[in-house]
Structures are given as C-alpha cells and as structure tokens.
Amino acid sequence: MNGVVVLGTGMHPWGKWGRPFLEYGVAAARAALRDAGIAWTDVQYVVGADTIRNGYPGFVAGASYAQALGWTGSRIASCYAACASGAQALDIARTRILAGLCDVALVVGADSTPKGFFKPVGGDRPDDPDWLRFRLLGASNPAYFGLYARRRMAVYGTTPADFAAVKVKNARAGSLNPMARYRKPVTAEEVLASPMVADPLRLMDICATSDGGAAVVLASESYARRVGARDLVRLAAVSTVTPTFPNTVLELPNFATDSCAAVPAPERPFRAAIADAAYEEAGVGPEDLSLAEVYDLSTALELDWMEDIGLCPSGEAEKLLREGETALGGRMPVNPSGGLASFGEAIPAQAIAQLCELTLQLRGRAGPRQVPNARAALAANQGLFGHGSAILTTT
C-alpha cells in the first residue's frame, strides 16, 4: 500500500509573544517546508486547523495560511474541533493523499491566546453547554480538572505528591526542548508550594494558555521516495472517534452524563476507545510503543491517559511513574517533549505539535531527550463534545 509519510515538521516556539497567530503558523509552515526539502509551490493541498479567538482569519485558517504564504492555486480546507482540530486537519490531508487526489499536503495550526484560563466566546448563548457551564456553575476548565483529580484520589488512592511527580518529570523533559515555553526544571516542593487553583490541583499542576504554532508536510510514500526522502516516518493511523452511547463518564464541558438505566455502559469508555481505534487501524498495540505523547491538561490527567491508552491497567499509572518507567531513560517515556506542562495550550497546534515530536523521535533527531531505538509512537488528545484525537506513527 502506498501509505502516507511525514515529509517535514516545523514549529514556532510556544510562549506569550503577543503577535498575530498567522505569524506563528507561517513560521512553522516555512520550517516544515525546509525540513521536507520542497518549495511552497510544490504543495498541492493546505489544511488549516482553526482558532476561534482571532477573528475571521482564524475561522478560515486554511485560506489565511495560503494567502500569507502566497496564493498558488492550491486546494484548501479549514476545520475546527477544539483541541482535536489538529488531528482532524491531519486526517483530512491524509485521506486526500490516500484517495490519490494529491501527493503532498501542508497542515498548519497556530493560536494567539488571551491571558489566563480559557473562557467562553462572547455573547449570550443559553443553548450552548460550554457557555452554560460558566454562567450556571462557574465551572472553568480547571474546575473540571480538579474534579477528575479528586475522582482519581478517591478511586485509586493517588496523592498530591504523585501529581507533583508528573510535573517534575515533564519539566525536566521540557527543559531540554527548545520549542517549549517553560524550560526550567522544578522540584516537587515547588509544585506543592504553588498556589491552589482547583483543589487538589495547584498552579503548577495545570497547563497554561500559550501562543505557538506547528506544521507538518504529509506526502504519499511514492512521492517521498521520488524526492529522495530518508528516515521515513509513516502516519499509520489517525483516530477521530466519538463516544459510544451511553457515555457515563463526565467530559468537559458537559455537566451531566448519559443514563445507563436502559442501555448498559459500553465495554470501553470514550478515552480508551480513541486509542483502541488507532491501534486497530495501525495493526499494533500498546506493547509495541516506544513512547507516547498524552493530553496533560493537568498532572492528574496524564495519569488517567496512561491507563486510557493501555500502558497499564487502571489504577497502576502511579506505579509506573514512581518507578521512573515514564521518564526520559525509562522503559516507556510519556511526554518526552515536556507535554502541555512545558508548552501550554495553543489549541489548533497541539495535536500537530505532538506529531512533530513523534516524528523527531522516530527519526532519531530529538537531541538530549531522544528515546533510544524508537520505532512506534502514539499521541492522544481530546476535543470538546466528543472529538477523539489519536495519532500513531511507525518507522
């Protein structure tokens, strides 16, 4: 099968730069084109992951990037799926290549975020659950993160010290990543002394909101070989599954779950189903992975995701963490990029940035955070309202 490969990757460093999102996206796109060894005029298809905070250009990101890079007549698409926007953009480009409708595509995501935690888009929308959860409950994103953390503590006996250990691990990895916003190692004592935000989570347990951009060039394997590409990384699977009814686990931004009074809960909850679909498509399992990038909106959520993607049974993530298995140098590094703990959220760019890290690792180009002999890697993410997001790559 003529599969899809990652021909090039590029990023704009995460931070709080106060510049238009297009600048970050264009910088990342140009870096990806250089890495791919092709010209902008060689690109046949452009997909932009949308941002809803940056005016009309953010809503039509594909056209915005195409115009900023210089109109060439290429075909475009734009998509929005909250934190899964990047994965959906990748899936659109990959599908077009697999269909034989193009040979090479550019996927770009970037964001310029406000100060502080995310809030709903302006205006009164009483039929919008995202708007309602702020107005009726005062439930910001960290409020949900705190509830998830409390549930883990109640069910599995996790402690604040375990959460702090996740931050310490990711901060060390982030200190080795030139694209990360936060590049300073921290101690558990510093994490546990940071201000309380949503009990039991403290400020350093929760990821920031950031500016940043990421881009990848995807190509058919035959095209990549024609242009002399080496160290090919295959995009083996992209999972964008939705939950199966009834979804009995509360997911942000909802404030109620489905009832299972008449229909039993599915065998696999939503987050586990996201990764399972990627494994099934790629023909590999969690035992085949060399590393994973997961959606650490909070330190507690990283522990949940480790179990959701099958790295260990439920309730055993803390054991892997305490034994150093998920740290750089461990058996199964999790978030070797530094994760959102080190980057913060630049929503349309997140899943694309995860793919950039997977690609660097599988090419053996991750520098001091390199995972030895990396052969397969998974990135897991999730968007509001049931948007699954998992990407699996192999050499």
Cis peptide before 13 (omega within 30 of 0): no
Residue 54 confidence (pLDDT):
85
Mean pLDDT of the residues in the chain = 95
* Dist CA 145 CA 33 (whole Å): 37
Return phi, psi of residue 10, to 5°. -160, 150
**Mean pLDDT of all residues in 14-32:** 97
pLDDT of 1 over the 80 cut? no
Residue spans of beta strands (DSSP E) within the chain: 4-15, 45-49, 75-79, 104-111, 196-198, 201-202, 211-220, 233-239, 291-293, 376-383, 387-394
Residue range 364-374: mean pLDDT, rounded: 97
For the segment 219-236, what is each residue's pLDDT rounded down to a tens digit? 999 999 999 998 899 999
Q: What is the pLDDT of residue 13?
A: 97
State how far the alpha carbon of 259 is from the alpha carbons of 53, 133, 264, 265, in Å: 34, 20, 9, 9
Distance CA 116, CA 60 (A): 25
DSSP β-bridge partners for residue 166: none
What per-residue confidence (pLDDT) applies to 117? 85
357 found inside a domain: no
Give the pLDDT confidence score for residue 122 in this predicted structure: 78
Q: Is 391 helix (H, G, I), strand (E, B) or coil?
A: strand
Residue 45 lies in a domain: yes
Of residues 255 and 201, more confidently modeled: 201
Q: Are 349 and 387 in contact (CB under 8 A)?
A: no
Q: Is 146 a domain residue?
A: no
Residue 99 lies in a domain: yes
Give Cα separations from 120 to 127, 139, 146 (angstroms). Answer: 13, 11, 19
pLDDT of 137: 87
Lowest mean pLDDT among 45-59, 158-172, 182-196: 45-59
Q: Is residue 232 part of a domain?
A: no
SS3 state at 356: helix
- Residue 315's pLDDT is what? 96
In the predicted model, what is the mean pLDDT of residues 321-333?
97
d(CA 232, CA 9): 12
Q: Please, which pLDDT band fits residue 38 given cuts at 50, 70 and 90?
A: very high
Q: Give percent of the chain above pLDDT 90.
A: 86
Q: Rounded distance, CA 296 to CA 373, Å?
A: 25
Residue 299 belongs to a domain: no
Helix, coil or strand: residue 309: coil
* Residue at 151 is within a domain: no
Compute the average pLDDT of residues 271-277.
95
Show the domain range for 52.
4-116+209-226
**Phi, psi angle pair for 221, to nearest 5°:** -60, -35
| Coil, helix or strand at residue 260 | coil
Q: Total domain count for the chain? A: 1
36 in a structural domain: yes
The helix-helix angle for 299-308 and 141-156 (nearest 10°) equals 60
pLDDT at 116: 83
Q: How many CA atoms lie within 13 A of 57 on its CB side?
A: 15
Contact 43, 74 (CB under 8 A): yes
For 279-301, what is the mean pLDDT?
A: 97
CB of 99 closer than 8 Å to CB of 218 = no
Q: What is the pLDDT of residue 180?
A: 98
Question: Tens digit of pLDDT for each residue in 98-110?
Answer: 999 999 999 999 9
Q: Quote the CA–CA distance of 192 and 202 in Å, as a whole number.
A: 7
Question: Could you tell me the sign of the dihedral formed by the alpha carbons of 358, 364, 370, 375, in that order?
Answer: positive
382 band by pLDDT with thresholds 50, 70 and 90: very high
* pTM of the predicted model over 0.85: yes
Q: What pLDDT sits at residue 256? A: 87
- Residue 190 has what pLDDT? 98
pLDDT of 136: 86
CATH assignment at residue 93: 3.40.47.10
Bond from prior residue into 348 cis (ω within 30 degrees of 0)? no
Dist CA 345 CA 305 (whole Å): 17
Side chain identity, residue 23: E
Eight-state DSSP code of residue 349: G
Share of the chain above pLDDT 70, in %: 100
Q: Please write the tens of the pLDDT for every residue from 60-88.
A: 999 999 999 999 999 999 999 999 999 99
DSSP 76-125: EEEE-BTBTHHHHHHHHHHHHHHTTS-SEEEEEEEE-PPSSS--PPSS--
CA distance 145 to 298: 6
